[in-house]
Every structure is written in structure tokens, then in C-alpha cells.
Structure 1
Amino acid sequence: MPKLVKLYITQVLIGFAIAAGFVGMLLYFNVANLWHLVTHNDAGIIAVIVLWFANGIVFSGVQFAITIMRMADSEDEDQGGKRDDLPLVALEPVPVEVTAKRR
């Protein structure tokens, strides 16, 4: 299996584990009375699974993005956003004559 695929799968598993902890904390601290809603409804377990899955997608995407951005070499640090070698050009307005016919 390629290294990038292994890295992606690892980060997805970490993201879904973080999401499980996050959803567990939401239920434990009863944020927005979520524990009561989940335990007193027939579709409560489905709601928890959907909440975990949606947060897992977000957290795994963020986890993978952070990992990829941290892989930059130290020699790449001076390449972003600097344009010191280009001269700065000051724009000046130019008057334009416009003639209009009278009716």
C-alpha cells in the first residue's frame, strides 16, 4: 500500500476517534439537552451515529490537512508571499476627454 494511502487511513481513524470523544463529551455534559433527546426518542441512536459520522468527516479532514501542512521542509519557508525582486508600480489616473452631443 502506498505511503500516502496509509497516512490518509491513519489520519481518518484518528479523526473519527476524536469525533467519538467529542460526541461523547457532548452527551456527557448534556449540551443543549442532547442526552435527554437521544435517550427519550426512538431514533436517538441513529442521531448519535449521524452526529459522530459528520463530525468524523470534519475532524479527519482537518487532521489530514494539518499533517500534510506540517510535512514542509525548512527550505520551503522563504517561498511564500514575498515579491522583493519585482518593482512596485504606482498607478496614476489618466484624464479622458468625453464629448457629448446636445439634443
Structure 2
Amino acid sequence: MPELVRLYVKNIAFGFGLALAFVGLLLWFNVANLWHLISTSDVGYIALSLLIVFNTIVFAGVQFAISVMRLADDSDSSGGLRDYPGSPERIAIRIPVETIDTRTQRDRQLHRRR
């Protein structure tokens, strides 16, 4: 099995465990009277399974994203600005900036023309 698939399956299993713990805590503390709603309904098992499935999707996605981001090579400390072969050189360009007084004078002239 490829390494990335193995990593994904491992994170799904970990997300499933987190989802079980999270839903268990939701029911234990009876958040929003959830325990009563699930235990007294005749289709409460569907609500419970959907809570677990959707929380598994969320927690597994977050776990996988964190683990993929941690796979990056930390040998480069440039903060993401890397010079790759064939990349253009960085050149400082001066951009003329108008002062507030110059813009105010120009705006006055435009308003006088109208």
C-alpha cells in the first residue's frame, strides 16, 4: 500500500476515535438535551450514526491536513519564499507615490472643470 494511502487510513481511524469520544462527551454532558432526544426517539440510532460519521469526516480531514503539512521539509527557513531554478530574479522597483497635497490639488482642479 502506498505511503500516502497508509497515512490517510491511519488518520481516518484516528478521526473515528476522536469522533466517538466527542459524540460520547456530547451525550454524557447532555448538550442541547441530545441524550434525551436520541434515547427517546425511535430513529435515534440514525441520528447517532450520522453524528459519528460527520464528525469522523471533520476530524479525519483535520488530522490528515495537519499530518500532510508536517511532512514538509524544515531545512529551508525562508518562510515559503524559495528560489527555484528558472525563477525570475527579484528586482526592487520604485513606484512613485503622490503626496496628499498633490492629490488634493488635482481633485480640486477636476471639480472646477465640472
Q: Which residue of 2 aligns with 1:101?
A: none
Question: Which residue identity does 1:28 align to in structure 2?
Answer: W
SS at structure 1 position matched to 2:76: helix
Length-normalised TM-score, structure 1: 0.80
Distance 1:19 1:86, change over 3 A: farther
Larger radius of gyration: 2
Q: Which residue of 2 aligns with 1:41?
A: 41
The 2-side partners of 1:9 and 1:52 are apart by 17
Question: Which residue identity does 1:90 align to in structure 2?
Answer: I
Question: Which residue identity does 1:44 align to in structure 2?
Answer: G
Distance 1:23 1:89, change over 3 A: farther
Structure 1 residue 72: deviation in Å? 1.5
Aligned-residue identity in percent? 47
Q: Which residue of 2 aligns with 1:74?
A: 74
Structure 1 residue 73: deviation in Å? 1.6
Is it true that 1:54 corresponds to 2:20 in the alignment?
no
The 1-side partners of 2:19 and 2:92 are apart by 49
Matched positions, count: 100
Q: Which residue of 2 aligns with 1:26?
A: 26
Question: Which residue identity does 2:21 align to in structure 1?
Answer: G
Question: Which residue identity does 2:34 align to in structure 1?
Answer: L
SS at structure 1 position matched to 2:77: helix
Distance 1:91 1:29, change over 3 A: farther
Distance 1:88 1:21, change over 3 A: farther
Q: Which residue of 2 aligns with 1:87?
A: 92
**Residue segments in structure 1 that go unaligned for 5+ positions in a row:** 99-103
Structure 1 residue 48: deviation in Å? 0.5
RMSD: 2.8
Length-normalised TM-score, structure 2: 0.73
